[in-house]
Chains A and B, each alone.
Chain A
């Protein structure tokens, strides 16, 4: 399996509910980033969390990072139909410059 795998692969929720997606990775990293992609469009950066941080907030987004478990989670609170998109985590293994994107979680928010 590849570095950076998200689960679930797909998630369908009602507007107003919270959405949680998880990312696992394999090697030591300097930081972990989350991106959103609307269908067929370019990715948009959401939030970056450094390896020495455990939690970070940005608006309705909350990201956690557990380096001992090599995992991260992205929580979107009070979801909106406009949050419907695919969400990817991205890591740069320590000692490299190679960005590795996960397999993505497809989120569908029903109005």
Chain B
């Protein structure tokens, strides 16, 4: 158990819908990362938050958005869903230093999203 929790574990929805994925980082970790893992694209970095502020953005679509709340939990919002958004979505957290990420990430169990 990494200490990172994600809900829900599974999500089945239809094209055009909007969903929210939730992540609670390990106690004390200020950074939260979101990743998308699909068979054809591998593990893609989406976005990172550090202590409530967006720190880095990766291959995140405009239809996707995220935020980190004062209690450090984070939510990833996916809207206007398409079939190609079906994937495993992972959240990870880490203790961050003041400079570029040097630290190991702890991954949650993931949310499996199926868009029908």
Interface footprint category on A: 20 to 34
Contact with A along B33-63 (1 / 0, CB 8 A): 1010000001111001010000111100000
B108 — nearest CB in chain A belongs to which residue? A42
A42 in contact with B110 given A96-B56, A99-B101 (CB within 8 Å): yes
A104 — nearest CB in chain B belongs to which residue? B42
Cβ-defined contact, B104 with A48, below 8 A: yes
A31 in contact with B102 given A44-B107, A88-B43, A99-B33 (CB within 8 Å): yes
A33 CA to B43 CA in the complex, in Å? 14
A92 in contact with B108 given A43-B90, A104-B42 (CB within 8 Å): no
In the assembled complex, 29 residue pairs joining A and B whose CB atoms fall closer than 8 Å, in A order, are A30-B102, A33-B104, A33-B105, A40-B112, A41-B110, A42-B92, A42-B107, A42-B110, A45-B104, A48-B102, A48-B104, A90-B105, A92-B100, A92-B101, A92-B102, A94-B100, A95-B100, A96-B56, A97-B48, A97-B56, A98-B45, A98-B57, A98-B58, A99-B105, A101-B44, A101-B45, A102-B42, A104-B42, A104-B43
Residues of B whose CB lies within 8 Å of any CB of A are: 2, 4, 33, 35, 42-45, 48, 50, 55-58, 88, 90, 92, 100-110, 112
Residues of A whose CB lies within 8 Å of any CB of B are: 2, 30-31, 33, 35, 40-45, 48, 50, 88, 90, 92, 94-104
